[in-house]
Amino acid sequence: MAGTSETSSAISDDRFRSLVEDLPAVTYIADFVGTFTLRYVSPQLTKLFGYSPDAWMADEAAWVDAVHPDDRERILHEAEACIAAALPFDFEYRLITADGRERWIWEKTAVQRDHEGRPLAVNGVMIDVTDLHHAQEALLDEAEGRAREREHYETALRRQADEHRHHALHDDLTGLPNRRSLYERLAAEMSAAQPGYEFSLLLVDLDRFKEVNDVLGHQSGDDLLRQVAARFAREVRGEDLLARLGGDEFAVLVGGWRGAEAGLEIARRLSDALCQEFILSGVPVHVEASIGIARYPFDGADATTLLRCADSAMYAAKDLSTELELFDGDRDHHSPTRLKRLGELRQALDRGELVLHYQPKLRLESGTIPGVEALVRWQHPEHGLLPPGEFVPLAEQTGLIKPLTSFVLRAALQQVNAWQTAGHDLSIAVNISERSLLDPDFPDEVTCILLDAGVPPHHLELEITEGTIMADPVRAAAVLRRLDDLGVVLSLDDFGTGYSSLSRLRELPISEIKIDRSFAARIETDERDIAIMRSTIELGHNLGCSVVAEGLETAEALQRVTSLGCDTGQGFHIARPLEADAISAWLADRQG
């Protein structure tokens, strides 16, 4: 910085002088015609930092020498770049006062220009923010404190209106644009759209986020949202808009002429961004998301409709466990097609179109078959054999899940009775939904079905997921204890994908845990998954539980889990799900 002693001739307004000299900050004015030349530095320079304004105006090196040595190169580089481009300054650095104290300075300028936009002068302010830095070190909520201080100083610089608008359009927790900002951008994109212009709207919902809050606390939940926002921000393009709509829900407007096509690419990148574990309160946590994609103008021509379509697609992704789904009117909760499918499912229960397939479980040490898992299918008259993902989520969203569960239990236990009569001593496992687990009448229903089928209770295994239990742990525990008193075997399915606390699991009457198939998929090559599998098996045994490994699709995976001490295996390498007659033949072949 260079200056002259002609400052007094440029400052003639006594009231302005009085104002700036009463501020707890150093103000300065500089010409900006070819060079950056100081013409005025307020007396606060002496009061705050012990330096002479005249000395700074007379010698550029005086200011440079006052900058902390560790900050000097950076600040000089930034200042030179701003001066060369005629841009305002906005940076922080440490300044050494005349008596040797270290102070943090926030320096900001505004460039005055003529009617042709050429820079004429610079008005600048240097504010001592040392106390703010000290407060930030002492307070856990550093961001909020800094925002308050920055808002205070920006108000003094007549930027309060812009700051208010920013807060109105952004999420406080993550700093991302909010729902209002998204709607404004959608409206702008649609109003400016030319024929042939397309874009995508992605709706992203974190799976089982409530479990993170319940188990690790809301502070960890907030930390997760911030980390997710940071990862997502690295994956979107400059022309896209990433927003947080509230809770665990994010949205991305994928713009540009390839917006509809690029939507799938961005969605996959967001999903991949969650693959690496998050560390929350020192705990490694794996998070997945369900992503719904709606396209303009195909799925909706206004913001409300497009957002609803993306929401429908997102729930379809959750129901189908596919991570991401394009909007499909056939799955829309408000569509005639969905209502038709719901009516067909009701009729399927009455017409006997639902059938069971059975997948054997292998006792790894002895090579025997202790039981099978019952898996429901729909023999649709028009669409053929439908997997459970095509209709079970629909049943869970309505009251149909109760009669569907009753059908599966009755059919499965009747088949067990038939196998036992034929000399096959098998148990059978049935998956139980959240609605059944939270139904206080469910244990009585199970009792009646067992009596009708003539099957001892210990031959029935009921599989529930961690997420199902966490939906309402108190009510779920009460129902589980009644089922345990009945003699039914309780199995915790998909273990390792939720966030249940070990203390809570220890209190539940669980006899078996089933390790999620995602770990077995990489157990042949991934040392971390091998370590996780080993630890989970040991944990299950320490809890007094039998351990089942799901998803064994190769001989190598089967050999690996056997060597790790797992009790039981299940997967395509052992046997695919088969019809009842095929199971009987398969068992006979093994015995023969």
- Quick one: which of 248, 187, 184 has its CA closest to 214? 248
- Contact call for residues 571 and 517 (beta carbons, < 8 A): yes
pLDDT of residue 501: 55
Residue 387 pLDDT > 70: yes
| Same domain for 562 and 549 | yes
User: What pLDDT, on a 0 to 100 scale, did the predictor assign at position 104?
Assistant: 93
460 and 550 housed in the same domain: yes
Full residue range of the structural domain in which residue 478 is found? 337-591
pLDDT digit string, tens, across residues 186-230: 988 888 877 777 889 999 999 888 888 888 888 999 999 999 999
What band does 1 get if pLDDT is binned at 50, 70 and 90? very low
Q: Residue range 66-85: average pLDDT?
A: 86
Residues shown for the chain: 592
Task: Give the angle 388-432-532 at the CA atoms, nearest 5°.
Answer: 90
Tens-digit pLDDT profile for residues 10-62: 445 565 566 667 778 898 888 766 566 778 889 999 999 999 999 888 887 78
Q: What is the three-state SS of 518-581?
A: HHHCCCCCCHHHHHHHHHHHHHHHHCCCEEEECCCCCHHHHHHHHHCCCCEECCCCCCCCECHH
Mark whether 329 and 350 lie in a shared domain. no
List the structure tokens of 442.
Answer: 């469910």
Q: Is the pLDDT of residue 443 over 50?
A: yes
Residue 425 sits in the same domain as residue 356: yes
The stretch 442-465 carries a mean pLDDT of: 95
Give the pLDDT confidence score for residue 155 in this predicted structure.
Answer: 65
Q: Is the pLDDT of residue 83 over 60?
A: yes
pLDDT confidence of residue 2: 43
Highest mean pLDDT among 59-68, 379-388, 448-457: 448-457
What is the C-alpha separation between 159 and 469, in angstroms, rounded?
Answer: 51
Q: Using the 3D structure, point to which of 128, 143, 160 is the last residue of a domain.
A: 128
On whether both 301 and 404 belong to a single domain, the answer is no
pLDDT at residue 394, rounded to an integer: 78
Q: What is the pLDDT of residue 29?
A: 84
Residues 287 and 253: their CA atoms lie apart, in Å, by 22
Kindly state whether residue 135 falls inside one of the protein's structural domains: no
pLDDT higher than threshold 60 for residue 495: yes
Residue 159's pLDDT band (boundaries 50, 70, 90)?
A: low
Least confident of 146-160, 240-254, 274-288: 146-160
Q: Which of 334, 351, 375 is the last residue of a domain?
A: 334
CATH number at residue 262: 3.30.70.270
For residues 115 and 47, state if they share a domain: yes
pLDDT, mean of residues 126-154: 71
Are residues 259 and 310 part of one domain? yes
Please indicate, yes or no, if residue 165 is contained in any of the structural domains: no
For residue 214, the model assigns a pLDDT of 81
How far CA 555 is from CA of 32, 322, 468, 551, in Å, comes to 76, 27, 32, 12
pLDDT at 574 over 70: yes
Contact assessment for residue 429 and residue 463, using Cβ atoms and an 8 Å cutoff = yes
Specify the pLDDT at position 336. Answer: 58
Q: Residue 67 pLDDT > 50, yes or no?
A: yes
Residue 151 lies in a domain: no
> Which of 133-147, 273-287, 307-321, 390-404 is predicted least confidently?
133-147
Better pLDDT: 162 or 430:
430
Q: Has residue 143 been placed in a domain? A: no
Residues 286 and 342 in one domain: no
Average pLDDT over residues 377-401: 85
Supply the angle between the helices 179-192 and 303-320 in degrees, to the nearest 10.
120
Identify whether 97 is part of a domain: yes
Q: Is residue 164 part of a domain?
A: no
Last residue of a domain, one of 128, 163, 198: 128
Q: According to the model, what pLDDT value does residue 581 have? A: 93
For 322-375, the pLDDT digits (tens) are 788 888 775 565 555 666 777 888 899 889 999 999 999 999 999 999 999 999
pLDDT band at 8 (very low <50, low <70, confident <90, very high): very low
Whose tokens are 């190598």? That residue is: 556
Q: What average pLDDT does range 252-261 have in this prediction?
A: 73
Confidence label for 162 from pLDDT (cuts 50, 70 and 90): low
Which residue has tokens 């309780």?
A: 490
Helices vs. strands in the chain: H and E counts, helices first: 26, 22
Average pLDDT over the chain, rounded to whole? Answer: 85
pLDDT of residue 335: 58
Q: Report residue 290's pLDDT band, with 50, 70 and 90 as the boundaries.
A: very high
The DSSP line for 284-336 is EE---EEEEEEEETTT-SSHHHHHHHHHHHHHHHHHHT-SEEE--GGG-TTSH
What order do you get walking across the sheet with 324-326 strand by strand?
Answer: 241-246, 249-254, 199-206, 289-296, 324-326
β-sheet bridge partners, residue 462: 430, 490
Residues 249 and 387 in one domain: no
3-state secondary structure (DSSP) of residue 121: strand
Which pLDDT does position 36 carry in this prediction? 65
Taking only the tens place, the pLDDT of each residue in 447-458 is: 999 999 999 999
Are residue 108 and residue 74 in the same domain, yes or no? yes
Whether residue 57 is contained in a domain is answered as yes
Domain CATH number, residue 577:
3.20.20.450
pLDDT of 5 over the 50 cut: no
Model confidence band, residue 498 (pLDDT cutoffs 50, 70, 90): low
User: Is residue 96 in a domain?
Assistant: yes
* pLDDT surpasses 70 at 258: no
Q: Which of 106-110, 329-333, 438-442, 542-546 has the lowest mean pLDDT?
A: 329-333
Quote the number of domains for the chain.
3
Highest mean pLDDT among 206-215, 384-393, 482-491: 482-491
Q: What is the reported pLDDT for 547?
A: 95
Specify the pLDDT at position 84: 75
Q: Are 322 and 360 in a shared domain?
A: no
Look at residue 460 and tell me whether its pLDDT is greater than 90. Answer: yes
Q: Over the stretch 346-355, which tens digit does the pLDDT of each residue have?
A: 899 889 999 9
Same domain for 347 and 221? no
